[in-house]
Structure 1
Amino acid sequence: MSYFGLFSTEHFLSIGGYILFYLFILFISQFFSKKGFAVVISCAVLIMKIAELVIRNGVYGESIQQLIPIHLCNITLMLCIITMIFPSKSLFQIIYYWSIGAVAAILFPDGRVAFPNFVGISFFATHFFILFTVVYQMISLGYRPTFKGFIGSFVCINIFAGIVYKINEILGTNYMYINYKPTFSSPLDFFGPWPHYIIIVEIIYIVLGLLLYFPFKKRHFKYTNVY
């Protein structure tokens, strides 16, 4: 596999290309039924993710225990697929605030596989799908983030992190980078040793979450019928 450099021309072109691609998908979604469009695109993304995991295991030799989809973005992706097919205001709240992780992954990807490798395509396509789901449901379904949703997302992410920490201890893995820092370069390198960087990430999540909520503060939205 060939790799591209972090913040290289190819990295920025990849980000720009996927933004344009999903804007196009958002545009053409207006010409189909909401239900039909949601099912088709969600199934396509799910198949792509499964194919990625199969390739990483069968072709690149990554072990099954390294491919369990319990990184935060993988869980968020699964929630996106579910809520696209079965819309849920509650799940939208979690996805909206957890999408912070997708943005971080896009900016600081783990295993920066160069285009046109399928694993690299799947990485960006699935992470951008998380952001697409947020934008799509805000535009098409009228969903909006709430402060209660922010609190709920914060509680859920901490409960989930605690569970993943124990799983990592059992399997010798490091999902969510909760047991120790990732081996590749990332902003966590500047946040001190374990567990200090976890505390800093929690603070950053709170700050960014509140910033994401602020534009919608003191506004009341009426959820429309979905389908």
Structure 2
Amino acid sequence: MDAYQKLQGLQLFDSLHVSYLFTWLVIWTVVPFIGKKYLNKNQCKMVVWTMIIFMIGQEALDYWNRAQFRNLNLVLDLPLHFCHISLIFAIYLLIKPNAYLYEITYFWGLVGAFQAMLAPDMTDFDNYLTVFLFNAHHAMIILVCIWLAVIDGYRCRKGAIKRMMILTNIVIWPVWLIDWLVGANYMYLMERPPTESPLVFGEWPWYIINIELVGLLLSVFMYLPMIYLRRMALQSESRTA
């Protein structure tokens, strides 16, 4: 689809953008709260399967929607961005517990997906359905991370940031090879991401290093709630011992 055919008139933090951010902020807060306070185990399972079906369904709808505007291709449509991989991990985690994958999804999701929602490329949406699916895709990763922490007691363990950074720097190499072979830009390893975020700066390849450093700092910040939750759990155990 040519650039002039894209959805026009959208701006960063316009009423539509802010409404999506506010709506998902409410969902991130209310859904885990209701699950923790009011739902029994079977009802929580129903919520989990609803989330799984929704995530798979929105991905299928996203690819169908893309196909209405252009031919699907290897350059644009492989699920190789961090947020695509995180969504796959999120679905897997709702089906089968895995502490390591939760840590990866937590940092990639809460840092990467939230950044994507906060500062998207407002010129790259095909239609309003694309806007909805973009926000739903990223927001569901965050919702799953919060749900698993609140309902199932998932926590990032000591050394989680180091493990996440090691995997990140392993994963980028095969993705870079695919980028080079097909002329793509998955994980934005070939060109800067089209975002207005002030956290993305510099030219190739320096912006990749900058993104890693910024991502590391944000991961440290996002790790703080996990430290607090672990300490609260230890205090609770000591009182009941």
1:97 and 2:103 are equivalent in the alignment: no
Determine if the alignment matches structure 1 residue 61 to structure 2 residue 70.
Answer: yes
User: Unpaired segments of 5 or more residues in structure 2?
Assistant: 1-6, 235-241
C-alpha separation in 2, matches of 1:69 and 1:178: 15
RMSD value over aligned CA atoms? 2.5
1:17 match = 23
In the alignment, residue 155 of structure 2 is paired with which amino acid?
Answer: R
Post-superposition Cα deviations, 1:124-152, rounded to whole Å, max 9, x if no partner, equal: 11211111111101100111112322111
Match of 1:225 in 2: none
Structure (1 or 2) with the larger CA radius of gyration: 2
Residue 147 and residue 205 in structure 1: after superposition, are their counterparts in 2 closer, same or farther (change >3 A)? farther
CA contact (8 A) 2:149 2:155 kept: yes
Q: 1:125 aligns with which of 132, 136, 140?
A: 136
d(CA) in 1 for partners of 2:128, 2:181:
32
Aligned to 1:37: 47
Q: Provide TM-score, normalisation by structure 2.
A: 0.81
Deviation at 1:156, TM superposition (A): 0.9
Q: How is 1:1-227 mapped onto 2 (pairs within 5 angstroms)?
A: 1-29=7-35, 30-31=38-39, 33=42, 34-57=44-67, 59-65=68-74, 66-99=76-109, 100-111=111-122, 117-182=128-193, 184-187=194-197, 191-217=201-227, 219=230
Aligned residues: 220
Q: Deviations over 1:141-189 (max 9, x none)?
A: 111112322111111111111111111001111011111213x343379
Shift, 1:115, TM fit: 11
What corresponds to 2:3 in structure 1? none
1:189 to 1:148, Cα distance in 2 relative to 1, 3 A: closer
Q: Which amino acid aligns with 2:150?
A: I
- What SS does the corresponding residue of 1:147 show, helix, strand or coil? coil
SS at match of 2:66: helix
| Residue 62 to residue 110, structure 1, CA distance change in 2 (3 Å) | farther
Q: Percent identity?
A: 25
Aligned residues of 1:3 and 1:114 also touching (Cα < 8 A) = no
Matched letter for residue 8 of structure 1: D
For residue 187 of structure 1, give the secondary structure of its aligned residue in structure 2.
Answer: coil
In the alignment, the residues of structure 2 paired with residue 118 and residue 191 of structure 1 have an alpha-carbon distance, to the nearest angstrom, of: 30
Contact 2:28 2:142 in 1 (8 A): no
The 1:62–1:123 alpha-carbon spacing in structure 2 relative to 1, beyond 3 Å, is farther
- Aligned residue type for 2:95: I
- Shift in Å, 1:83: 0.2
1-side partners of 2:137 and 2:86: how far apart? 10
Q: 1:178 to 1:215 in 2, by over 3 A?
A: same
Q: Tell me the secondary structure at the aligned position of residue 159 of structure 2.
A: helix
Aligned-residue offset at 1:214: 3.0
Q: Offset of 1:19 from its aligned partner?
A: 2.0
- Counterpart amino acid of 2:185? N
Deviation at 1:50, TM superposition (A): 1.2
| SS of alignment partner, residue 166 of structure 1 | helix
